[in-house]
Chains A and B, each alone.
Chain A
């Protein structure tokens, strides 16, 4: 990602002082500190979805047009842009409806990063297990 707007606002993060951080609630309220606190406890909550609408934190951030939150979430380990909500929408669908062009661009770029590039050479087949790689001496 070429630009991370979060860097501009990181100083405003005053820290989450609650006992039970929730990533969904944090994304809904654009509270970066609560999201960060939730991820610190368990990074796997990045794919957590709420029970009612099956929406993830990325869905909520995209729906509200919170660009810095989306950037932050996409940079996290395990970020999944293909999770579908109750209506079959992934976060990119929601972002397109919402209309924030920064978020749409970020998500398209993130998604492209998951796809193989046609100009890239064919990936080498994995070595069979048990093979030994020997390095030639200089």
Chain B
């Protein structure tokens, strides 16, 4: 039996609070494990105790079979103090090495998200690879504080709409690094007919910030990758971004179709580029607290 306190590398990186998404994902892994092995909650609880060396204290009450069972029935949600043992069990190296727990890698302190996002950012930050996307005014000598302020200026929730759909873009900075988590939602206008129905198309992923913001996202629905571009309008007096121009997929397609069409009508050179006003959707910063609370539900549950 090995006490988890002997492993500072595991506890130091452990979050103090666990989101509902992490708890739901952990429960799903345990229930899959229970189904595949036929083990009862008592046995699984013994495994958790053995692997983590959980000891009952006033501050960390030990996890019981009843806790696990009622959690699986959704009669209660495991509190952070008790869930900590489940989290330590699932992210323990011995557990991760077992074939039934491969999905538990995704729970580990967003390590996977950070690695994937970091690689993505390295690629698109390289001028040799993507100088056309990220153009930093090299003549301008920007100090660290200004960079920090400008980066924070992008954070927030932006909304807009066209004739049929409402759109929402959420940008959230990850631990003050130059790396943003983004969520892009669209839903039919008046689509929220009932409070329990959303009818939302959702894309989630990360983004790099430059003269253009490039959103690298995946859809929840069919796990297809979609890159989107956003042109920010920066207020240089405050370094705050209150409006964004999103280049819509449908509008991009429409523009491309028009270009192809124009080839057959050489006399009419109407459209050979994406018009920043006609082919983009204006997204404005929102102060809608209900929407922000709604977005909070997705803040970190990315689709990778």
A residues whose Cβ falls under 8 Å from a Cβ of B: 5, 8-9, 30, 53, 55, 60, 63-69, 86-87, 92-94, 96-102, 104-105, 108-109, 111-112, 115, 118-119
Contact = CB atoms under 8 A, between A and B. Distances in A.
Q: Which one of B20, B25, B31, B197 has the highest number of Cβ atoms from chain A below 10 Å of its Cβ? A: B197
Contacts, number: 84
A102 B28 CA distance: 15
A60 to B, nearest CB: 7
Nearest to B222: A53
Instruction: Give the most central of A5, A53, A115: most B CB within 10 Å.
Output: A115
A99 B294 CA distance: 10
B222 A97 contact: no
Interface stretch (B35-43, B128-136, B262-270): B35-43
B194 A68 contact: yes
Contacts of B58: none
Interface in B47-95: 65, 69, 72-74
Contacts of A96: 21, 24-25, 28, 301
Contacts of A68: 194, 196-197
A9 B197 CA distance: 11
A97 B220 contact: yes
A51 to B, nearest CB: 13
Contacts of B74: 105, 108-109, 112
B18 interface: no
B28 A93 contact: yes
Given A67-B198, A118-B40, A118-B65, 10 more contacts: A5-B194, A8-B194, A53-B222, A66-B197, A68-B197, A97-B301, A98-B220, A99-B298, A108-B72, A115-B31
B96 to A, nearest CB: 18
B199 to A, nearest CB: 6
